[in-house]
Structure 1
């Protein structure tokens, strides 16, 4: 992985190369969008792609920078993808979640980007189980805002405004689409609030710190094995800390996710006599799964209700 300064320099060179080389470096999707009078929008990863498609409808062509089934945190962009960011009418991204996307935006798309982290202030990363300072891999702002449906509704409204500024003739259509999505998200929020209101257990032990917003919204406590990115290796002290907590509190499920290795969660589950089950942070959708944001959120709710012994 390139260092920050080297990555930024390469991004700048690529942007210059795109500008001076043949326009064939641009994606065919971008060309098709222009030919059809659609806005060409680049979304940094799946939840932002989904929202932009729902809000933009037939008036936008949306390119997701992350391939289906791929974990998005450590995305590296190809020259073609840097060109897509530079050439797009708009870029919807979340700053500090994917450094390569930040660099590409800064290199040629800052004036046409929407950083969804600015819609509502992000929360700090989680606090350790014991009193004291944050662990080094726990520091920083939690980016996983889409797991709170009410926050995702705010992002939808911001996307509608961005698209409306670019295409004023269809601004009312974008606003109406966002309102329809907001209604669906409000229904999902009610399902979660009702479904998790009467649970015997209130703690979820998860493989990485992705569920803080969901936990805060619905009165749960998240205990995470690793920090804000799933590739981090937990320290032996952290593993022991979580294992002791799980044993003392009779935790029956240790949750892992779909796009990263389950080995650590499975090993911890075996040690404490629990089951390892999937709880999906929806950072991406598995290829050919047929799922979308709402179907995965509802599967997560069913999983949580079973694990937390909800009535």
Structure 2
């Protein structure tokens, strides 16, 4: 795949050429905000809070690996024509800085949610079990905030503020929708706590280290095979240590993810004779998720069911 930077000059030409023919489309789109997003949780927030006042679309195709995906030139042109592109930043998407550079002269608002440090407040340095702790701590923040329902509320607050800034006439709608969503997220958090609070065996062997916030809020102890991005594979020495850690904790499960094929995790599963389960990291929806009408809440409750099975 070509590096994204090689598309920039082509993209700018396409944008200029397409500008003349976009006026009628712009007139129609003024009725609703046009919002592009990266990861699915942001798309979900925009849809739930914006309601009928927004048209939102993720640039990620179903089921892709979100950390390594690069948008196409067509994606970039679509983003440039929209009102805003809301993305996570903070290392979540590999392309975010390049997009910001390529589109800085366009009228589209570029909004990285991770720029809001309040999203990470009260986040303590959690213990990352296994051989990869040092590598993990090279990251200032783990960007997988949405897996914590309370931090998802904070993300929603940021999205609500963006929508109000873009369309202040709809403030009442956005605040009402946000308040309803907050209630649902608090109920989800309550259910996680009720299900996990009395567990005494909390270790989970996961394919990549996305679950720091479950450690902090619910006492889950993750043993990650890969780093914060699923492409950060362990060394041979790390593998030996992870297998020993799994044996020591008497783990009988390996938790794979819906959008990654991890050969290393499969090796460890075979080595420790573990049963496989799937956790949904919610970075992107799969074709199957879309076909069956899954959303943030249905997938998070499914994750909770998995955690309930693999902890004791």
TM-score by length of 2: 0.88
Q: 1:256: how far off?
A: 0.7
What are the within-5 Å matches in structure 2 for residues 276-295 of structure 1?
Answer: 276-287=276-287, 288-295=291-298
Q: 1:112: how far off?
A: 1.4
Name the residue aligned to 2:38: 44
- Is the Cα contact below 8 Å between 1:70 and 1:284 reproduced in 2? yes
Equivalent-residue separation in structure 2 for 1:214 and 1:128 (angstroms): 12
- The runs of at least 4 consecutive aligned structure 1 residues that moved more than 3 Å come to 7-10, 23-26, 30-36, 121-133
| Runs (5+) with no aligned partner, structure 2 | none
| Runs (5+) with no aligned partner, structure 1 | none
Residues 34-68 of structure 1: CA deviation (Å, up to 9, x unaligned): 44600000111211111111111000000110012
Partner secondary structure for residue 230 of structure 2? coil
1:54 counterpart = 2:48: yes
Name the residue aligned to 1:194: 194
Equivalent-residue separation in structure 1 for 2:263 and 2:132 (angstroms): 29
- Is the Cα contact below 8 Å between 2:5 and 2:98 reproduced in 1? yes
Label 1:64 to 1:132 Cα distance change in 2 as closer, same or farther (>3 A). closer
Q: 1:271: how far off?
A: 1.4
Name the residue aligned to 2:138: 139
Q: 1:124: how far off?
A: 8.9
- Is the Cα contact below 8 Å between 1:127 and 1:134 reproduced in 2? no
Name the residue aligned to 1:90: 84
Residues 170-207 of structure 1: CA deviation (Å, up to 9, x unaligned): 01111111111111100100000111011131111100
Label 1:62 to 1:74 Cα distance change in 2 as closer, same or farther (>3 A). same
1:10 counterpart = 2:7: yes
TM-score by length of 1: 0.88
Name the residue aligned to 2:206: 206
Q: 1:126: how far off?
A: 6.6
Partner secondary structure for residue 99 of structure 1? coil
Residues 203-236 of structure 1: CA deviation (Å, up to 9, x unaligned): 1110001111122111111110010111333211
Equivalent-residue separation in structure 2 for 1:133 and 1:251 (angstroms): 19
Name the residue aligned to 1:156: 156
1:298 counterpart = 2:301: yes
Partner secondary structure for residue 281 of structure 1? coil
Name the residue aligned to 2:17: 21
Partner secondary structure for residue 240 of structure 1? helix
1:234 counterpart = 2:234: yes
Label 1:130 to 1:282 Cα distance change in 2 as closer, same or farther (>3 A). closer
Residues 131-189 of structure 1: CA deviation (Å, up to 9, x unaligned): 99713x66313111110011111111111111111111101111111111111100100
- Is the Cα contact below 8 Å between 2:15 and 2:80 reproduced in 1? no
User: RMSD across aligned C-alpha pairs, in angstroms?
Assistant: 2.7
- Is the Cα contact below 8 Å between 2:208 and 2:230 reproduced in 1? yes
